Amino acid sequence: MSDDQDHPQIYLITPTEFDLLTFPDQLAACLDQVPVACVRLALSTKDETRIAKAGDALREVTHQRDVALVIDSHMMMVERLGLDGVHLADGARSVGKVRKQLGDDAIVGSFCGNSRHDGMTAGELSADYISFGPAGVTTLGDGRQAEEELFAWWSMMIEVPVVAEGALSPDLIRTLAPHTDFFGIGDEIWRQDAPVSALVDLRAAMTEQA
C-alpha cells in the first residue's frame, strides 16, 4: 500500500464558474504538484455547449495524468463527453437508475448531506462513494452539518468509501482524516491567490495528527 493510500486522498472540485482560457492550466498545475484521485466538473450553468466545452478541455488535462473526471448531476453527458462518471446530488434517489444506464464501469457517486439513511441506501444501490457535507460550519444552505461523529460511525460500520466536503479547514481536515477516504476540495483553494500552494497546505494537513 502506497503512502497516498495510507491517508485520505484528494477529490478536487472545480469552481462553479471558470474561464476556459485559464482554468485548464490552473488545474493542470494542481495535478502536477499534488496527487489527486478524482476531479469533479461542477459548473452551475445549464448551458450544454459551455458544459461540453469545459468537459472536453478538462478531460484532456485529467486523462493525460490518469486522473478520473466525473460530472456533477448531468449523467446524460457522461458518455457523450467521454467522462468517467457522475456525481449525483439527490441522495439515493437516482443511484439505481443511473447505475443501470451507465453500467458497472462508470463511477457513480452520491451526495447525501448528513443523512446516514440516504448514504446507506445509496451504497446498497451500488454507489461507488458517498459524499457528506458540509463538513465545516457555513451560513450557506439550511445550516445542517455533517459532523465528525457521522464520519467516525461510517468508517467503522460501512465499507463504501466516503468523501468529506464543504467548508474544510486545515484543522477540520486533521480531525476528519482518520475517518474519511477522500476530501472534496474546491472553493477552499480556488478562492485563494495561489491555489496550488493552498492545495499543498491542505494535503499536508491530511497526514498530520489533530
Q: How many domains, the chain?
A: 1
Q: Return the H-helix or E-strand segment holding 10.
A: strand 9-13
Confidence (pLDDT) at 210: 58
Dist. CA 33–CA 64, nearest whole Å: 14
Confidence (pLDDT) at 6: 73
Mean pLDDT by 10 residues, the chain (210 residues): 65 98 98 98 97 98 98 97 97 97 98 97 98 92 91 97 97 97 98 97 88
Instruction: Tell me the residue range of the domain where 36 lies.
Output: 3-206
Which among 153, 184, 144, 154 has a CA at the least distance from the CA of 168?
184
Confidence (pLDDT) at 209: 66
Confidence (pLDDT) at 129: 98
Whole-model pTM: value is 0.95
Task: Please give the torsion angle defined by the CA atoms of residues 86, 90, 92 and 94, in that order, rounded to the nearest 10 degrees.
Answer: -60
Q: Return the H-helix or E-strand segment holding 111.
A: strand 107-111
CATH number of the domain enclosing 129: 3.20.20.70
Confidence (pLDDT) at 208: 84
Q: In this predicted model, what pLDDT tens digit does every residue of 139-182 receive, in sequence order?
A: 888 878 999 999 999 999 999 999 999 999 999 999 999 999 99
Residues 6+ apart with CB under 8 A from 143: none
Dist. CA 108–CA 192, nearest whole Å: 30
